[in-house]
Structure 1
Amino acid sequence: MLAVCVLLLTGSVSCGSSDAQERKSGESVSPVGKLLDHTDKEGRHYREVKKKGAPEVGIEVQPGAGDTWDVRLTVHNFRFSPGGTKSRAVAGRGLAYVFVDGRLVTRLRGLTCRLPARFVPRGTHHVTARLYADDGTVWAVTGRPVESTADITASEAAGAPSTTPRAAGPGVRDTYARTGGRGSPERSGTAS
């Protein structure tokens, strides 16, 4: 009992805090955030963190070479974990999942990927980047996942891109109309 009291008095143990403490290596030594009952469509629980210093993600989708779409993310207060990282939550670390129309198409451990046109056929599509901790939980702020969505419309055969859209920043959804080789970005004003 005396040993426990000494540990508590010296500050070597963190109890009941939702904020993570980090070692010099950047690894968390206490639980990160608060696990919520809410889950994503795949059943992964949300991991609630405070808004101040929370991870953020932005997404930009542009036509690529051939019939592809280039996806570029911007992140703040977040670092991508390398492959083989232990399955545990560390403050501001993890990977990004990219969804097209709610369907998972890839997991990223970096800022870019290329989507083949088969994932973006003719029509309007929602390309979403969502941040996850290494333990598979969804980073969340005020009960909402940390994600960003770009709405794109492919109007040519086989979903071939024809114009260059702008980026959608954290919490902003942009819509891009594509017709006959010309595009006109339209701000939809919908938060994601």
Structure 2
Amino acid sequence: MSWTRGPLAALAVCVLVLTGSAGCGTSGAQDGKNGGVSPAPVGELLDDSDEEGRLYREVDKDQAPEVGVEVQPNPDDSWDVRLTVSGFRFSPAGTKETPVAGRGLAHLYVDGRLVARLRTDRYRLPAELVPRGTHHLTARLYADDGTVWAADGEPIESTTDLTASEAEPTMSAGATRVRTGGQGSPDRAGKAS
């Protein structure tokens, strides 16, 4: 086929296809207008919400993202926090506020109080946010529209304990490994089974 027939043949195919149910070119899900993401709804919004009133966005347990949280003390009494995620990507700042499966940000809580919104898997937790005593550090996953990723009606989150003393920070038993809020092995939603 000569180079002049190629474009003409492609044009003819486009004309034929345009008269049918599909069009030539790209759809909104592929043209970059939506970042290569389908605008279709993701998950099901539940009536349940978190402490801030953000609705849960339920996804199938076998497709749900996972999160784990690890902490390490620093000599300056701050803490290095590292999140481990599976089936999840952090969205960069400025991302359109549309839920996309397995994408969003994490909120970090100390004893139920929001201390940071994370778009990365690492954070340095300042000492002044962790007074002396034992505290619960929770990482919870959110969609870009602010809804809480959930599976089986529970938020997708992970919690670990950390203990701060006046001399230097110490970790409670097992705080350097991924832990959940209860006993047993974590299920896909970060909860103990």
Q: SS of the residue aligned with 1:118?
A: helix
C-alpha distance in structure 2 between counterparts of 1:127 and 1:55, whole Å: 19
Q: Does 1:124 align with 2:134?
A: yes
- Could you report, residue by residue, the CA deviation over 1:48-96 in whole angstroms, capped at 9, with x for unpaired residues? 0001121100000110241101100000000000000011101100000
Q: SS of the residue aligned with 1:52?
A: helix
More strand by share: 1
Q: How large is the Cα RMSD of the aligned pairs?
A: 2.3
Which structure has the bigger radius of gyration?
2
Q: Does 1:63 align with 2:62?
A: no
Letter in 1 for 2:84: T
- Could you report, residue by residue, the CA deviation over 1:29-59 in whole angstroms, capped at 9, with x for unpaired residues? 3100000000000000000000112110000
- Could you report, residue by residue, the CA deviation over 1:159-188 in whole angstroms, capped at 9, with x for unpaired residues? x3135832224xx237xxxxxxxxxxxxx5
| Range with bigger deviation, 72-81 or 56-65 | 56-65
Assess if the C-alpha contact under 8 Å between 1:64 and 1:114 holds in 2: no
C-alpha distance in structure 2 between counterparts of 1:64 and 1:27, whole Å: 40
Q: Indicate which of 132, 152, 171 corresponds to 2:162.
A: 152
Q: Does 1:137 align with 2:147?
A: yes
| Range with bigger deviation, 25-34 or 37-46 | 25-34
- Could you report, residue by residue, the CA deviation over 1:128-170 in whole angstroms, capped at 9, with x for unpaired residues? 000000000000000000000001122x217x3135832224x
C-alpha distance in structure 2 between counterparts of 1:65 and 1:112, whole Å: 18
Q: SS of the residue aligned with 1:167?
A: coil
Query: Which blocks of at least 5 consecutive residues in structure 2 are unaligned?
Result: 1-19, 23-28, 186-190
Letter in 2 for 1:80: F
